Amino acid sequence: MKLKVVLSVLSCKITCAVLRAFKKGGTSLPGKIALLFCKDILKYVSKNVKVILVTGTNGKTTTCRIIETALEKAGINYFSNKSGANLLNGVVTSFCLASSLSGKNRHDYAVIECDEAALRQVTKYINPQVILVTNIFADQLDRYGDVFNILRLIADGINNCDSATICINADCSLCTHLMTLTEKEARLFGVDIEIPDTHINEQNGILHCIKCGNPYTYDYVTYAHLGGFRCDNCGYRRHKPDVGAVSILNMDITGSDIIMSMNNRQYNLRVNLAGAHNIYNALAAACALNTVGMEDKHILTAVSTFKSGFGRMEIIEINNIPVNIILVKNTAGFNQIINYLFLVENEYILSVILNDKPADGTDVSWINDVDFEKLNETSKKIKYVYLGGTRAGDMALRLKNAGFDMNKVYTVKNDKDLVNKALEHNIPIYITATYTAMFNLRNMLTGKYSLKEFYK
pLDDT, one tens digit per residue, over 35-72 is 999 999 999 999 999 999 999 999 999 999 999 999 99
| Cα 398 to Cα 63: distance, rounded to the nearest angstrom | 31
Residue 168 pairs in a beta bridge with 133, 188
DSSP symbol at 72 = H
Dihedral sign, Cα of residue 153, residue 156, residue 160, residue 161? positive
The whole-angstrom separation of Cα 210 and Cα 324 is 38
Return phi, psi of residue 166, to 5°. -100, 135
| Closest among 294, 332, 280, 339 to 134, alpha carbons compared | 280
Instruction: Return the SS3 of 218.
Output: strand
* pLDDT tens column, 202-243: 666 688 999 999 999 999 999 989 999 999 999 999 999 999
Strand 255-262, strand 243-252: pairing? antiparallel
- Classified as helix, coil or strand, 377 is helix
Distance CA 10, CA 3 (A): 10
455 pLDDT above the threshold of 60: no
The yes-or-no verdict on residue 406 having pLDDT over 80 is yes
Contacts for 149 with CB less than 8 Å, ≥ 6 apart: none
The pLDDT of residue 447 is: 76
% of the chain exceeding 70 in pLDDT:
94
Give the sign of the dihedral formed by CA 346, CA 410, CA 337, CA 227.
Answer: positive
How many CB atoms lie under 10 A from the CB of residue 183? 9
**52 contacts: CB under 8 Å, gap ≥ 6:** 67, 109, 110, 111, 112, 128, 129, 130, 132, 288, 292
Angle (nearest 5°) at CA 325 between 281 and 167 = 15
* Contacts (Cβ under 8 Å, ≥6 apart) of 22: none
Question: Is the pLDDT reported for residue 163 higher than 60?
Answer: yes
Coil vs helix vs strand at 338: helix
Q: Say whether pLDDT at 362 is over 70.
A: yes
Residue 147, φ and ψ in degrees, nearest 5: -65, -25
Is the pTM for the entire model greater than 0.95?
Answer: no
pLDDT band, residue 417 (cuts 50/70/90): very high
Angle at 178 between CA 247 and CA 67, to 5 degrees: 55
Give the residue with greater pLDDT, 202 vs 363: 363
